[in-house]
Amino acid sequence: MDPTVQEHISGVLPEGLGPAIGETAADIAALLHGLPDTAFPVPDSEWSVGEAAAHLALANELMADLARGQERQYGDGTPQALAAANAQALDAFGERRAEPLAAMIVEQADAFLAAAAQAPADEAAARALVTPLGSMNRDVLASYLLTHMLGHGYDLARALRRPHMIDRDRVLLCMPFLLSVMPRVADPAAMAGLTARYTIRLRGGPAFGVFVADGAVGVTQGSLDRSDCTILIEPVTFLLTALGRRGPWRSIAQGRVLTWGRKPWLAPRFPTLFVAP
């Protein structure tokens, strides 16, 4: 990234978020560099490595356009509509070679950061931008971009049997997006008949509260009073669970999740209340 943009972005986005976006894009590109064949499958996915990388390149381009204030139609935010929009975009974009896709992923992440750096800080932070998952300001959109890259970067790392790039610091930078979108991705059918108050504590990080009642969900910063179930979870495990990459029982068995409260048995149900974005 242009050092001038990198210097400016540090005073525009929340601390660490700009560098995390650039570094994650570079980490994904490093996975793809020198890969002669991208046709083999991504585990637990219908996509090949080439399709997942193409999706990332297109998504980064979409995010850069949104950061510039351009309006882009991309489904209606439901999982079905997003999946259809993804399929349509991939059908119209034929590139599946590793090197061009690696370059595009980095270029469009840089384009996003450049667009964020050019906007007046006070105006851009407050401005509502229309995204595939609802209206959000620039800071939350940047958190969205990072979250999206980490999820698919993890998939590519698994497919290529390489270390993934998710760590505690990057997970914490994903939290503004995850908390803002949680009510939107709640599954009414999964919440039917449930009234519960959860406190989620990230080990070594912040806590937040989630209350479920009458088929609706609310999210608060900090712990909830009179929680039915408190969940202490390791941050990387939290992100992988939130993105549907890991189930709760494996994490509980590995000691990455601890629960207590009046109704601790509600803990494994918590991730099933949401459809991963």
Domain match, 240 and 139 both: no
Q: Give the count of domains, the chain.
A: 2
Domain match, 19 and 130 both: yes
pLDDT in tens, 122-150: 554 556 888 989 899 999 999 999 999 99
CATH, residue 204: 3.30.1050.10
**What does the pLDDT average to over 8-34?**
91
Domain match, 177 and 232 both: no
Q: Which of 154, 181, 208 is the last residue of a domain?
A: 181
Domain match, 59 and 116 both: yes
Mean pLDDT (the chain) is 91
Res. 92: pLDDT tops 90: yes
**Predicted confidence band of residue 11 (pLDDT cuts 50, 70, 90):** low
- Cβ–Cβ under 8 Å, residues 138 and 129: yes
What per-residue confidence (pLDDT) applies to 249? 81
Domain match, 255 and 214 both: yes
Domain match, 176 and 250 both: no
Rounded Cα–Cα distance for residues 37 and 56 (Å): 17
Domain match, 133 and 11 both: yes
CATH, residue 11: 1.20.120
Q: What is the pTM (predicted TM-score) of this model? A: 0.93
Domain match, 154 and 211 both: no
Q: Which of 128, 153, 181 is the last residue of a domain?
A: 181
Res. 208: pLDDT tops 90: yes
Domain match, 47 and 106 both: yes
pLDDT in tens, 209-257: 999 998 889 999 999 999 999 999 999 999 999 999 998 888 888 888 9
What per-residue confidence (pLDDT) applies to 122? 57
What is the domain range of residue 246?
A: 188-273
Listed in sequence order, the residues at least 6 apart from 138 whose beta carbon sits closer than 8 Å to its beta carbon are: 13, 67, 116, 119, 124, 125, 127, 129
Q: 156: which 2 tokens? A: 């590519």
**Predicted confidence band of residue 202 (pLDDT cuts 50, 70, 90):** very high
Q: Which of 164, 181, 198 is the last residue of a domain?
A: 181
Domain match, 31 and 144 both: yes
**What does the pLDDT average to over 147-174?**
98
Res. 108: pLDDT tops 80: yes
